[in-house]
Amino acid sequence: MQGLMQDWPLTVDKILDHAKAWHGGREIVSRSVEGPIVRTTYAEVYERAKRVSNALLGLGILPGDRVATLAWNTARHVEAWYGIMGMGAICHTLNPRLFAEQLVYIINHADDRIILTDLTFLPILASIRDQIPGVKHIIVLADEAHLGDSLPGALAYETLVANASADIAWGGFDENTAAGLCYTSGTTGNPKGVLYSHRSNFLHTLVTMGSDVLGIKATDTVLPVVPMFHANAWGLAFSAPAVGAKLVMPGPKLDGASVHELLETEGVTFSAAVPTVWQMLLTHLRTSKGTLSTLKRVVIGGSAVPEAIVRGFRDEYGVDVTHAWGMTETSPLGTQATPNHAIAQMGDEQQLQFKLKQGRAPLGIQLKLVDDEDKLLPHDGETFGRLKVSGPFVVGEYFKSEGGNILDAEGYFDTGDVATIDEHGVMQITDRAKDVIKSGGEWISSIEIENIAAGHPKAELAAVIGVAHPKWDERPLLLVKLMAGESAAKDEFLQFLDGKIAKWWMPDDVVFVDEIPLGATGKIDKKLIRERMKDYVLPASSPATSGTAALAAPPEPKIYAPEPPVAVVEDDAWLNWTLDAAQAVDRSHPTQPAAVDQAEAPADAQGPFPAK
């Protein structure tokens, strides 16, 4: 016997329907690509999004066709999203921080028919236009006056919207119809497409609205600094309209001063971004003696965040910072470090250590840890294992079946992360499986070391990789990019780490570098670092107990990274690979690796990193 309730398909057009009907006057404020602040409402965005649907129909787009966006967070981008998905087409968000050849691969693999783009990215598209023949039209999110002639044949968005009717019926299709397409960052092999359904996006929205996840309310003003082109801006472009929160869209300006201006002038209460943004904001606030008069909550993910940032916002500005974890394959939010009843009763310092972890799974997400034989591991907070995940908004297979069967016998997806889960159900990422350092038969977490090192007051960014060792297989090497104008000795960082990590985890050397490269999703690109450091040899003397003189023997290599295709400072991305700075457990492991023949490290790793 089945229930006797109404059949109400969970399609995302209903989210904007609801926003228009019950929160129609609520503002969406954008810092436009052209410069000025632009104001609109949910009701106006709803009407214009329907015009977008009709404009796309007039250009030959049918349900199931892929329509790409290459755009910043603005109200126009929101209109395009709902206009594409509402008519049954698939919204494919393109990441402008990918290299040109990666964009070409993704556009062609997705069979994109149309690309909607901001003025910023016209040079990128002009350079690859002849390599994407399947794209029939490029629509520029601007009016005729700003269109220019840099891309012949491009269409002006405002003209198309003005000439199209708003009379179109949205929805009416199965809730499992594809709604959005987002590609992984492709750190191993080609990027793979994750094809979201209307149902998965709708369920993800309902989950993120919960108070244990994003907890956004109608009274909130939300600033999604995390880009819409990466895993749906962590779902904020759905959850904010769903509750009627005011949206503040930052456009292309993501520096500390610009973000601070919007936070204060628009009365922002909630925001989300990667650590880089919050580090820049914190630096700006301290140097300008600025204040945060309305901001109450921040969600951070994407890469390791120093404990100093969390403490800085909490102690100096009264802002609650919470870690989250997820990936493109989880839509993207998978866990969030909100306390349960037991953690909430602990002291502030104990609670802080839990906040720095990746957190608990909400309803709809199931987690498990397994060993290399796929046997279940205990949730004791100490046993490391491969993290697997399942749920109604977790990927089942990649677009066009790339990679074949990606689920285990129980339907779980292997995230590629190594993690622990404790007795409270709190998950902690300890490393990516490909980045964990294997030393003397034990695992060392590169993320934990770099997370703590990045909290040094002189450090702007830190990275840790494993370097070959003749006796212990691998030993950790710490690379540090210092704050502008700072200088430091290696023992400053070793002393800073002392007592915060296990003794046998102590890096065998510290190298100061000009740049630490980030990938297209804002995470440290360790593949590139390992390639550039492949000829590096550890000093012969013992590391963790050595003084500066012994460690300073090799010439210091310099790492150069290319400028990204667009000069930007932040990427979402997304919510992977953060770690707490809790003191590591000291295990039985040698602290004096055997001496090796000293070979000269490269004095200068010349030239930019390659595109791939």
Q: Is residue 124 part of a domain?
A: yes
Q: Is residue 205 part of a domain?
A: yes
User: What tokens appear for 495 in the block?
Assistant: 């002393």
Mean pLDDT, residues 414-427: 94
Higher local confidence (pLDDT), 580 or 118: 118
409: CB partners within 8 A, 6+ apart: none
Of the pLDDT bands very low, low, confident and very high (cuts 50, 70, 90), residue 354 is: very high
In a domain, 199, yes or no: yes
**Band (36; pLDDT cuts 50, 70, 90):** very high
Sign of CA dihedral 522, 528, 532, 537: positive
Q: How many domains does the chain have?
A: 1
Give the CATH number, domain containing residue 143: 3.40.50.12780
pLDDT (average), residues 170-188: 89
The tens digit of pLDDT for each residue in 272-303 reads 998 888 988 999 999 999 999 999 999 998 76
Overall average pLDDT of the 8-35 stretch: 98
497-524: pLDDT as tens digits: 998 888 888 999 999 999 998 876 677 8
pLDDT digits (tens, 9 = 90+) for 321-331: 999 999 999 99
Element (H, E) at 580: none
The pLDDT value recorded for residue 439 is 81
Task: Look at residue 148 in the predicted model and tell me its pLDDT.
Answer: 84
CA triplet 414, 576, 274: central angle to 5 degrees? 165
547 lies in a domain? no
Range of the structural domain that residue 64 is part of: 8-212
Helices marked H in 59-208 — which ranges?
75-86, 100-110, 122-128, 144-147, 157-163, 198-208
Query: Beta strand 297-300 with 270-273: parallel, antiparallel or unpaired?
Result: parallel
What does the pLDDT read at residue 521? 66
Q: What is the per-residue DSSP string for 481-528?
A: EEPTT----HHHHHHHHBTTB-GGGS-SEEEE-S---B-TTSSB-HHH
Q: Is residue 75 part of a domain?
A: yes
pLDDT of residue 450: 87
How far apart (Å, rounded) are the C-alpha atoms in residues 541 and 595? 6
Q: How far is CA 337 from CA 22, 167, 426, in A?
A: 31, 44, 7
pLDDT score at 186: 59
Question: How many whole angstroms from its chain centre is CA 125?
Answer: 24
189-202, pLDDT tens digit by residue?
688 999 999 999 99
Indicate the average pLDDT of the chain.
86
From 349-358, 480-489, 513-522, 566-575, the region with the lowest mean pLDDT:
566-575
120 within domain boundaries = yes
Residue 77 vs residue 551, higher pLDDT:
77
Active site residues: 184, 329, 438, 443
pTM: 0.79
Residue 57 within a domain = yes
- Give the pLDDT mean for 563-568: 32
Residue 119 has a pLDDT of: 96
- Per-residue pLDDT, averaged over 386-390, amounts to 97
Tokens 């979201």 belong to residue: 196
End-to-end CA distance of the chain: 56
β-strands 27-31, 66-70 pairing: unpaired
Alpha-carbon span 534 to 221, nearest angstrom:
48
Find the range with the poorest average confidence among 122-126, 293-297, 352-356, 564-568: 564-568
Tokens at 207, concatenated: 């989950």
Q: What is the pLDDT of residue 534?
A: 86
Residues 6+ apart with CB under 8 A from 430: 384, 418, 419, 420, 436, 443, 445, 447, 448, 579
Task: Indicate the pLDDT class of residue 558, thresholds 50, 70 and 90.
Answer: very low
29 inside domain: yes
